[in-house]
A and B are shown apart, each in its own frame.
Chain A
Amino acid sequence: MSLILDFAQSLQDSGFGTALAESRYAFPLVEAAHLLGLSISVGLIFLTDLRLIGRFLTNVPIPVVLRQLRPWVLSGFAVTFISGVLLFIAEGATVVISPAFPAKFVFIALAGLNALYFELRLARLAPVVEHQAVLPVGVRYAGLASIGLWTATIIAGRLIPYLPG
């Protein structure tokens, strides 16, 4: 843990880290980019999950939803990831001591594993590919797990300033 803290502290103390943290416009804009990137990536994932559990756009086949939204989800993630790295450079040592910070990464990892399992296994099953009326029950569970894990990620992220170490 102290290794991560030392690393975060050295980034925060670097010229770039200090300049970014003290910048009047850049820092709030990076914060805003993190939020907007999240709204596009996780926002569209939420809509996809609602489709998986049968509560949204049920007449659009799941493979169509996945294929057509994927580039936007990934673009949103790129914005969220890059802005997240910049935020860590600017204030990493301040946030890394919060227990909500590692919790956020645990939830992201679990959400990622769930997405991977869905894409590599469930999305390739015949009933999903062929847009059949009855889908394997795992599809619904994967959607619910995704909603739960991404909600937990957002809650943990928002709690970082409220839960100091």
Chain B
Amino acid sequence: MSLTLDILNAIQHSVVGQSIAKSDHLVGATAQIFHVLGFIILLAAVVLTSLRLLGHGLTDRTAQQISRETNRLLWLGLASAVISGIVMFFSAVELYYFNPAFKLKIVLLLAAVVLQILWFRKVLAQETPNAQLARSSAVFSLLLWFGVGIAGRSIGFV
């Protein structure tokens, strides 16, 4: 625990970490903008795919056809959110490290990414997935990604 924190602190106090923290608010604000824009693109992709799995929205195309195009946006949005998130994290390690909302956000994020790869992607790869399976994966996907957003938004308040 303390070793991890020591390593993270060392990074924060390294040249890179210090330059991020000290380069006034501009870097922080830019990271925040890429974080929120990336998350919105990611969530839009998740919402559109989930709506289709639930039988709403763009019903004249299969979920498989839609996910082929939303997939790229999902990973693009995630990359933008994660890279900017790492910059934000290393500019104030202790602020985030001990924050319970931050911990919850990371757990939900990991769960969402793992399930996306191991479960949702497989359902979406099928031409006609089992209706129950399609519905439950859409609900889980929405709950987890919305949960990441709610936990993330709470970081500043706990």
Chain A contact residues, CB within 8 Å of chain B: 24, 27-29, 31-32, 35-36, 38-40, 42-44, 46-47, 56-57, 59-60, 64-65, 68-69, 72, 151, 154-155, 158-159, 162
Contact = CB atoms under 8 A, between A and B. Distances in A.
| Residues of B contacting A: mostly | helix
Nearest to B154: A28
Contact of A36 (B29, B43, B66): B43
B100 interface: no
| Residues of A contacting B: mostly | helix
Most buried by A among B40, B48, B56: B40
Contacts of B36: 35, 154, 158
Contacts of B51: 72
Interface of B: 25, 28-29, 32-33, 36-37, 39-41, 43-45, 47-48, 51, 56-61, 66, 69-70, 73, 146, 149-150, 153-154, 156-158
Contacts of B39: 35, 39
14 contacts: A28-B158, A32-B153, A35-B36, A35-B153, A39-B40, A39-B43, A40-B44, A40-B47, A43-B41, A47-B45, A56-B69, A57-B66, A57-B69, A159-B29
B58 A32 contact: no
A48 to B, nearest CB: 10
A86 to B, nearest CB: 14
B48 A44 contact: yes
Most buried by B among A27, A43, A56: A43
A129 B47 CA distance: 26
Given A27-B157, A46-B41, A72 B47 contact: yes
A38 B58 contact: no
Nearest to A43: B44
A65 B58 CA distance: 7
A39 B73 CA distance: 13
A47 B44 contact: yes
Nearest to B158: A28
